[in-house]
Structure 1
C-alpha cells in the first residue's frame, strides 16, 4: 500500500466526520446519527456509493438546514470529501465507511429522510442483477429506513441499469414513481441539483452521455 493511501487512512481515523470500524461510534451510530454525530435534529440525507463525496459535500453547501451522510467502502475516496468538508467548516457532513449491503446495521427504521443513489456500478452481466443497488433486495432493505414521505433519488449514465430500475419499480405496489427522465439536463428538474456533479457524472457528460434520473417514494 502506498504512503499517500496510508496517510489518508490515518487521517480518516482522526477525522470526526468519518464513521468507520475501529471507532467507538461505529457500533453505536444506528438510530443515533442526530444525537452522536451531528448533535442536532436536522433531517438526514444519505448518498450511497458516494465515492469522493462531491455530491454529498455539494448538497451540504446548498442545504445547511439538513445533515448529509456519504456511504462508501473505499477509505481513500471518502477521505477526499471528508477533508474538503473539514476545510470548509461544513459540520453537516459525515461519511460512513461500510459496504452498502450492510446498511441496515447503521440506520434505524425511519431514520433517513432522503436517499440518493448516484452512479452506482451497473453490474451489466446476466446473473449480477441482485448486486445492483436498485434491485428488489436492496429496495426491500432501504424501505424501513426511510421515513414516511421520504424521497429516493437515482442518477446514472447507464441506460440498461436505468431501464432495469424502471422495470423493477413498475412491478412494485409499494412504490410511487414521482418523476423519471432519460435526459436529466433537458428536464425541468435540472436546476434543483444546483449544477452539482460527481466525478463520474462529469466524465460521462463530457463524453456526450445523457444522464438518467428518477425519484420515487415508498407508499405506506
Structure 2
C-alpha cells in the first residue's frame, strides 16, 4: 500500500464524520438523532467514491442529512476532508460493503438513495453484484421509507437498460427515465452536480443516463 493511502487511512480515523467497519453498528435506526444530532431526513449515496455528490447535496440541502457509503477508505477521505475543511455538518461517510447495508440502517430509516456512476459489472456472471440487481433492491426496500426514491445516474448504457428492465419486471414505479440527462427536460440543479469521472465522460461527448424510481 502506498504512503499516500496509508496517510489517508490514518487521517480518516481521526475524522468525526467517518464511521468505519470496526466501529460496529452504533447508529442503526438512529442516524439522524445520534450521529447528526437532529431529526432531519437521511439520504444515502451508495458507492460514493470521493463523495462529490454527497458533499454537494449537503451544501444544497442543509435541512437534510447525507451519508456517503463506500468500502474504499482512501476514496472516502477526499469527501470527508472537504466536509471537515468547509465545516459542513450535515454530511457523514460510512465505510462498509453495501451488501451489508441492512446491518447498519433500521427499517424505513432512509428517505432517499442515490447511486452515482457505480461499477456496471457488465459481465453476465457478475449481474448479482450490480447495485440495482434485485437482491440489492430487496435490501433498499427494507431501509427506505414508503415512497422514498432511488436515483441512478450512470454513463453505462447497459446498466441503464438493465435497471429499467428490473424496474419493469419488479412492478416498481418509474418516475423519470432519460438516456441523455443534460439534454433533457429533467435537468435541474441536483442532476447538474458532476463527479470527477462524469466530467471526463462529458468531455468525450458520452451521454449520461438517469433513472428515478420507487417501490409501490
Q: Name which of 202, 206, 217 aligns with 2:203.
A: 206
Aligned partner of 2:40 in structure 1 is 42
Q: Name which of 134, 137, 140 aligns with 1:136.
A: 134
Q: 1:53-99 CA distances to partner (integer Å, 9 max, x unpaired)? A: 00100111111010000000010000000000011110000000011
1:7 Cα shift? 1.4
1:179-190 mapped onto 2 (5 Å cutoff)? 179-190=176-187
1:54-203 mapped onto 2 (5 Å cutoff)? 54-173=52-171, 175-193=172-190, 195-203=192-200
Q: The residue matched to 1:190 in structure 2 has which SS?
A: coil
Aligned partner of 1:29 in structure 2 is 27
Dislocated runs of 4+, deviation >4 Å: none
Aligned residue pair count? 216
Aligned partners of 1:120, 1:142: CA distance in 2, in Å? 16
Q: The residue matched to 1:134 in structure 2 has which SS?
A: coil
Aligned partners of 2:109, 2:25: CA distance in 1, in Å? 16
Aligned partners of 1:172, 1:96: CA distance in 2, in Å? 29
Aligned partner of 1:52 in structure 2 is 50
1:194 Cα shift? 5.9
Q: 1:178-212 CA distances to partner (integer Å, 9 max, x unpaired)? A: 01000000112212426311122111111111000
TM-score by length of 2: 0.97
Aligned partners of 1:164, 1:56: CA distance in 2, in Å? 25
Aligned partners of 1:111, 1:198: CA distance in 2, in Å? 26
- Structure 2 regions of 5+ residues with no counterpart? none
Aligned partners of 2:17, 2:29: CA distance in 1, in Å? 17
194 and 179 in structure 1: CA distance in 2 versus 1, 3 angstrom threshold:
closer
RMSD: 1.0
Aligned partners of 2:25, 2:41: CA distance in 1, in Å? 21
Aligned partner of 2:11 in structure 1 is 11
